[in-house]
Amino acid sequence: MSGSQRAGTARDRPALAPGATPAPGWRRALLPVLHRSQIYNFLHWSSRHRQPESGTIVLGQRRVYILPTRQGVAFAVSLLMMLIGSINYNLSLGYVLTFLLAGIGVVSILHAFRNLAHLALTGRRVDAVFANEIAWFQIDIENRETFDRFSIKLHGRDEPPANTVTCDIPAGRVTAVSVPVRATQRGWLQLDRVTVETRFPIGLARAWSYVKPDMRALVYPRPDESLLPMPRPRPDSGETVSMGTGTDDFFGLRDYQPSDSPRHVAWKSAARTEVPMTKVFSGRASSELWFDYSELPDNMDREARLSRMARWVILAARAGVRFGLRLPGSQVELGDGDAQRDRCLRELALFGVDIG
Amino acid sequence: MNAIPPAPSQRSAGRTENSTLPLAHLMLMLAGLALAAAPHVARAAWWMGVGMAAAFLWRLYIAWKDKALPSRLILVAMAAVALTGVFLTFRTFIGRDAGVTLLTMLLALKLMEMRAARDVFVLIFGGYFVALTNFFYSQTIMTGVLSLLTVLTLTSCLVSIQAPQRHIRANLRTAGILLAQAGPVMLLLFFLFPRVQGPLWGVPQDSASGVTGLSDSMSPGTLSRLGQSDAIAFRVKFSGAPPQRGQMYWRGPVFWTFDGVTWRPGALGLRGAPATVELLGEPIDYEVTLEAHDRQWIFGLEMPSRFPRNARMTPDFQLLSPLPIRTRLRYDMRSYASYRAATDNPDEQRAAVALPRLGNPRARGLAEEWRRNLPGDEAIMRQAIDYFRNGGFSYTLQPPLLDRNPVDEFLFDTKQGFCEHFASSFTYLMRAAGIPARVVTGYQGGEINPVDQYLEVRQADAHAWSEVWLKDRGWTRVDPTAVVSPVRVDGGLSAAVPQNALPLLMRENFSWLRSWRNNWNALTNQWNQWVLGYTPDRQRDLMSRLGVGQPDWGTLAHLLFWSVASVIGLTALWMLWRVRRKDPVQAIWEKFCARMARRGLPRQPDEGPLDYGSRLAASLPQQADGARTIATLYADLRYGPNHPKEQVALLRRLVADFQP
CA B7 to chain A, closest CA, distance in angstroms equals 10
Task: Give the span between the Cα atoms of A239 and A321, in whole angstroms.
Answer: 13
The reported pLDDT for the residue numbered B548 is 73
Task: Give the span between the Cα atoms of B356 and B19, in whole angstroms.
Answer: 77
Domain check: are A153 and A265 in the same one?
no
Compute φ and ψ for A257, nearest 5 degrees: -120, 145
**Inter-chain CB proximity A107 and B178 less than 8 Å:** yes
Task: Give the span between the Cα atoms of A4 and A11, in whole angstroms.
Answer: 9
Query: Angle CA(A318)–CA(A320)–CA(A322) in degrees, nearest 5?
Result: 120
Q: From the list A95, A114, A133, which residue is nearest B575 (CB)?
A: A114
When the pLDDT of each residue in chain B is averaged and rounded to a whole number, the result is 83
Interval B168-217: pLDDT, tens: 999 999 999 999 999 999 999 998 888 877 666 655 544 444 566 788 88
Domain check: are A198 and A293 in the same one?
no
Given B293, B316, B377, B419, the catalytic residue: B419
Domain check: are A209 and A166 in the same one?
yes
pTM of the predicted model, to two decimals? 0.69
The reported pLDDT for the residue numbered A292 is 87
Domain count across chain A: 2
pLDDT surpassing 60 at residue B147: yes
Go through A178-205 and write b for each residue having 16 or more CB atoms within 10 A of its CB, e for each that does not: bbbbbbeebbebebebbbbbbbbbbbbb
Q: Of the spans A13-17, A20-24, A350-354, which averages the highest pLDDT?
A: A350-354
The reply to whether A160 falls in a domain is: yes
pLDDT surpassing 80 at residue A309: yes
Give the total residue count for chain B. Answer: 660
pLDDT surpassing 60 at residue B146: yes
Interval B556-572: pLDDT, tens: 888 888 999 999 899 88
Task: Give the span between the Cα atoms of A22 and B178, in whole angstroms.
Answer: 42
Query: Among this protein's residues, is B593 annotated catalytic?
Result: no
| Closest Cα in chain A to B608 | A173
Q: From the list B129, B131, B159, which residue is nearest A202 (CB)?
A: B159
- Give me the percent of chain A exceeding a pLDDT of 90: 37
The reply to whether A269 falls in a domain is: yes
Domain check: are A190 and A277 in the same one?
no
| Closest Cα in chain A to B157 | A202
**Inter-chain CB proximity B163 and A93 less than 8 Å:** no
Q: What is the CATH number of the domain that holds A174?
A: 2.60.40.10
- Give me the percent of chain B exceeding a pLDDT of 90: 24
**For A48, what's the count of Cα atoms within 13 Å in the CB-facing half-sphere?**
5
Go through A17-44 and write b for each residue having 16 or more CB atoms within 10 A of its CB, e for each that does not: eeeeeeeeeeeeeeebeebbeeeebeee
The reply to whether A275 falls in a domain is: yes
In whole angstroms, how far apart are CA B271 and each of B64, B211, B263, B347?
Answer: 70, 27, 18, 12
Task: Give the span between the Cα atoms of B654 and B650, in whole angstroms.
Answer: 6
The DSSP symbol for B247 reads: G
Query: Among this protein's residues, is B157 annotated catalytic?
Result: no
Inter-chain CB pairs, A–B, below 8 Å: 211
* Residue range A321-335: mean pLDDT, rounded: 88
pLDDT surpassing 50 at residue A18: no
Q: Which is more confidently placed, A263 or A294?
A: A294
Contact residues, chain A, for B202 at CB < 8 Å = 88
Domain check: are A272 and A199 in the same one?
no
Given B25, B40, B293, B463, the catalytic residue: B463
CA B170 to chain A, closest CA, distance in angstroms equals 11
pLDDT surpassing 50 at residue A238: no
Task: Give the span between the Cα atoms of A182 and B192, in whole angstroms.
Answer: 54
Question: Measuring CA to CA, which residue among B476, B440, B442, B481 is closest to residue B459?
Answer: B442
The reply to whether A303 falls in a domain is: yes
What number of other Cβ atoms are within 10 A of residue A74's Cβ? 16
The reported pLDDT for the residue numbered A88 is 84
- Can you say whether residue B655 is alpha, beta or left, with left for phi > 0 and alpha for psi between -120 and 50 degrees? alpha
Domain check: are A208 and A316 in the same one?
no
Residue A125 near chain B (CB below 8 Å): no
The reported pLDDT for the residue numbered B127 is 95
* CA B384 to chain CA mean position, Å: 46
The reply to whether A109 falls in a domain is: no
Interface of A with B in 207-236 (CB under 8 A): 220, 223
Q: Which is more confidently placed, A157 or B347?
A: A157
The reported pLDDT for the residue numbered A232 is 63
Candidates A62, A77, A100, A175: best to mutate against B (most CBs of B within 10 A) is A100
Q: Where are the domains of chain B?
A: 23-184, 222-506, 536-576, 584-657
pLDDT classification of A294: cutoffs 50, 70, 90: confident
Domain check: are A180 and A295 in the same one?
no
Query: Among this protein's residues, is B463 annotated catalytic?
Result: yes
What number of other Cβ atoms are within 10 A of residue B200's Cβ? 12
Interface of A with B in 294-323 (CB under 8 A): 314, 317-318
| Closest Cα in chain A to B131 | A97
* Residue range B304-324: mean pLDDT, rounded: 87
Domain check: are A198 and A61 in the same one?
yes
The reported pLDDT for the residue numbered B3 is 35
Compute φ and ψ for A183, nearest 5 degrees: -95, 115
pLDDT surpassing 60 at residue A235: no
**Inter-chain CB proximity B201 and A94 less than 8 Å:** no
Contact residues, chain B, for A122 at CB < 8 Å = 605
pLDDT surpassing 90 at residue B128: yes
The domain boundary, picked from A174, A202, A220, lies at: A220
**Inter-chain CB proximity A87 and B200 less than 8 Å:** yes
Interval B5-45: pLDDT, tens: 333 333 333 333 334 788 899 999 999 999 999 998 888 77
The reply to whether A188 falls in a domain is: yes
State the ipTM, two decimals.
0.75
SS3 B240: coil
The domain of A283 spans 249-349
Indicate the pairing of strand A322-327 with strand A288-292.
parallel
Any alpha helices (H) in B134-221, and if so which ranges?
141-162, 168-192
**Quick check: B207 and B136 in contact, CB under 8 A?**
yes
Domain check: are A199 and A327 in the same one?
no
Domain check: are A216 and A167 in the same one?
yes
CA A117 to chain B, closest CA, distance in angstroms equals 9
Interval B281-301: pLDDT, tens: 888 999 998 888 888 899 999
| Closest Cα in chain B to A83 | B132
pLDDT classification of B343: cutoffs 50, 70, 90: confident
**Inter-chain CB proximity B576 and A314 less than 8 Å:** no
**Quick check: A239 and A288 in contact, CB under 8 A?**
yes
